[in-house]
Amino acid sequence: MLNLQGLHHVAIICADYIRSKRFYTEVLGFAVLQEVYRAERDSWKLDLALNGQYLIELFSFPGPPARPSRPEAAGLRHLAFAVADLDAAVQHLARHGVGCEPVRTDEYTGRRFTFFFDPDQLPLELYEAGPLTAVK
């Protein structure tokens, strides 16, 4: 049996490194753990953490193709972030010029959620969650 211990990180390739770095750090509040320029690839790699947990590698590469979002393509659909107060989170994003879809309620959990997009149109979700617990 494969003994997975958890999710280590998610890698995201961006088209405009400075714009995406600003979005993930200043708007979403990720902390920079490490930033490295890789000259041989003309590429930046930014390691980002949330609440002390390493979660995202943000990469830049020259001329990456656009990500297909609509119609939805096979592969990673979106990233979801837990928030304690969905209304406050939506207001925070609005103050930074980031629009959200209308708030919906998860029919299975009764929790509220909404979607928004990063600067490269990667779908992101805010999910109003209580304490995270393991499914039994």
With beta carbons less than 8 A apart as the criterion, state whether 53 and 98 touch. no
- The residues spanned by each domain of the chain are 1-65, 77-136
Which CATH number is 1-65 given? 3.10.180.10
3-state DSSP assignment of residue 136: coil
Common-topology check for domains 1-65 and 77-136 = yes
87-110 residue pLDDT tens: 999 999 999 999 999 999 999 989
Query: Which has the higher per-residue pLDDT, 131 or 56?
Result: 56
Tell me: pLDDT of 72 over 80. Answer: no
Q: What is the band of 134 on the pLDDT scale with cuts at 50, 70, 90?
A: very low
Query: Rounded to an integer, what distance in angstroms lies between the CA atom of residue 93 and that of residue 86?
Result: 11
Please compute the mean of the pLDDT values over residues 40-62 and round it to a whole number.
95
To the question of domain 77-136 being in CATH 3.10.180.10, the answer is yes
pTM greater than the 0.85 cutoff? yes
Query: Which has the higher per-residue pLDDT, 59 or 66?
Result: 59
Please tell me the least confidently modeled range out of 8-17, 102-111, 122-131. 122-131
